[in-house]
Amino acid sequence: MNIIQSVAVIGLGSMGMGVAKSCLRAEFDVYGIDINPQALETLTTCGAKATATSAVPFAKALDAVVIVVVNAQQVRTVLFDSGLAAALKPNTPVMVCATISAEDAKAIAAELAVYALPMLDAPISGGAAKAEAGELTVMASGPQSVFARLEPVLSAVAGQVYPVGDAIGMGSTVKIIHQLLAGVHIAAGAEAMAMAARANIPLNLMYDVVTHAAGNSWMFENRMKHVVDGDYSPTSMVDIFVKDLGLVAETAKSLHFPLPLASTALNMFTTASNAGYGKEDDSAVIKIFPGITLPNKE
């Protein structure tokens, strides 16, 4: 079994940057890939072996590839459109952390197999802070041999790894079901805080009550703080939940399964996106409610 020493992290957003830094702490040679020059500069400062807008020039030096992008099209772009899959050494494991459908995960794994590249279907959760700390939750599926190859990387980036079977697509399905909850929790939190605003209850008070009572959730505590602060700088955008809850809806359709709450949440996020809030933090879904005054960032 080849020892993993050099790792490319493709996608240096709020989650990917944390993954890359966790790999650096684990003393991997890290190659950071992104189209954002500021992200490349940040990772260079942290000690990356190299940074670039493409991993192709480094392909032969890589022992593993970790992809932390937004959707299946971006996964295909960085792997196939760029020529990376063709340039990698055969048997280089590819860990796909994007939230994608099970069908897309299976199709990408099949395309990678053409180049003799094994894949781990390994979506992640936990937010930017846990990514930075190397304490992400990974829900992964794939052959046991690929789990074994990637174990050092998984240990570096995750606080908890849940193996959910050998079949590619199962990891993605678990993540999609998780995103159902995450999206509904944000939407419900926004509805509650909007009602508080309508009732002239100070939102910082409402937030304090909920976060010390039974109605709290991780998503409420994390996202509604943005509302209290009037700061919608994105760590995860409204449009991400339009995409993720869309995947939830597609998965439910394939299972012939009703989703009354998730469907409402998807409508709320879609309304927020159409109102021009798509690139703001996903807590900006609260802005769809009329007749309320929200805090502004000072």
Which residues have a catalytic role annotated? Answer: 175
Of the chain, the end-to-end C-alpha distance in Å amounts to: 55
Residue with tokens 């992809």: 67
Spatial CA neighbour of 166 closest among 191, 196, 140, 184: 140
Torsion of CA 48, 54, 56, 58, to 10 degrees: -10
Residue type, 6: S
Cα separation, 194 vs 176, whole angstroms: 27
Structural contact between residues 256 and 249, judged by C-beta atoms closer than 8 angstroms:
no
- The helix (H) or strand (E) run that includes residue 158 is strand 158-163
